[in-house]
Amino acid sequence: MSAAAELTSQEYIKHHLTNLTVGEGFWSWNLDTLGWSVFLGLVFLYIFRTVAKSATTGVPGKLQCAVEMIMEFVDDSVKGTFHGKNALIAPLSLTVFVWIFLMNAMDWVPVDLLPWLISLVSGVEMAHIYMKPVPTTDPNLTFALAGGVFFLIIYYSIKVKGVGGFMKELTTQPFGHWSLYPVNFLLEVVTLLARPLALSLRLFGNLYAGELIFLLIATLGFFQLPVHFIWAAFHLLVIPLQAFIFMMLTIVYLSLAHEDH
């Protein structure tokens, strides 16, 4: 759209990669990330609640069929990967998968569409509108999601194994001799901390790179449409895949936390 023509390519990309932020320093809040993530979470709850209330035993409608396929897919993934007993894992996995998928799917929205609509309604020039509609391109959100998973890992590790069992797990492997317990502890702590780090950075990196390529394509002007559609078609694989990987790693990590050796 016209925003690309009013700014240089570098300014255009920098503008679209800037969050709508209030506050300063540690207490700054990315309102677009918070707003879209909460909105998409409510969309997820509304759709699944509506389908659950109107579900029939006869021939299901298209929406009910889609929801049932998603739930069956997640349930099979949990049964095949999680080896403990915990009623929380299946609904948690469903929430993680669908919510992250919806947030990733905002990458399909043309990069100038939302700023243009806001400009049309408010009368503010697009150059002064900051709006990142893809919450998973914000590392604050991906770290928050991974932090929640990390909290559950620690919680269930202590609940299932006890404090002593959890500490033994951190100190007595991979080397069995007591003199190497400090080395074991260092290796296990690094491995433990790497889990939320890998979860957050993998999701953020893939979606941020995809958004950046969409912005680069938008700077092509008139020739952007065919390239945009090709990249959007490729994202038909990337967007659900990243949600699936986050879900599967969450299940695997929580399954390890429930194993009592």
Tell me which of 154 and 24 has the higher pLDDT: 154
Whether pLDDT at 112 is above 60:
yes
Provide the number of structural domains found in the chain. Answer: 1
With a pLDDT cut of 70, the percent of the chain lying above it is 96
Enter the tokens of residue 9: 């390519």
CB contact at 8 A, 185 and 171: yes
Q: Is the pLDDT of residue 100 over 60?
A: yes
Long-range contacts at 29-34 (CB < 8 A, ≥ 24 apart): 30/132, 30/138, 30/140, 32/130, 32/131, 32/132, 32/133, 32/135, 33/132, 33/135, 33/138, 33/140, 33/141
The pLDDT of residue 4 is above 60:
no
Pair 5, 11: CB distance under 8 Å: no
Kindly tell me the number of DSSP H helices and DSSP E strands found in the chain: 9, 2
H or E element that contains 208 = helix 181-218
Domain region containing 112:
2-258
* End-to-end alpha carbon distance in the chain: 59
Report pLDDT for 2.
45
Q: Averaged over 80-103, what is the pLDDT? A: 93
CB 206 within 8 Å of CB 238? yes
CB 3 within 8 A of CB 127: yes
- Residue pair 106/112 in contact (Cβ under 8 Å)? The answer is no
pLDDT, one tens digit per residue, over 184-208 is 889 889 989 999 999 999 999 999 9
Specify the pLDDT at position 220.
Answer: 78
Band (222; pLDDT cuts 50, 70, 90): low
For residue 22, the cross-strand partners are: 29
Determine the average pLDDT of the residues in 252-259: 90
Mean pLDDT of 213-226: 78
Contacts of 100 (CB under 8 A, 6+ apart): 136, 145, 203, 242, 243, 246, 247
Q: Which two tokens stand for residue 122?
A: 């408010």
Q: State the chain's mean pLDDT as an integer.
A: 87
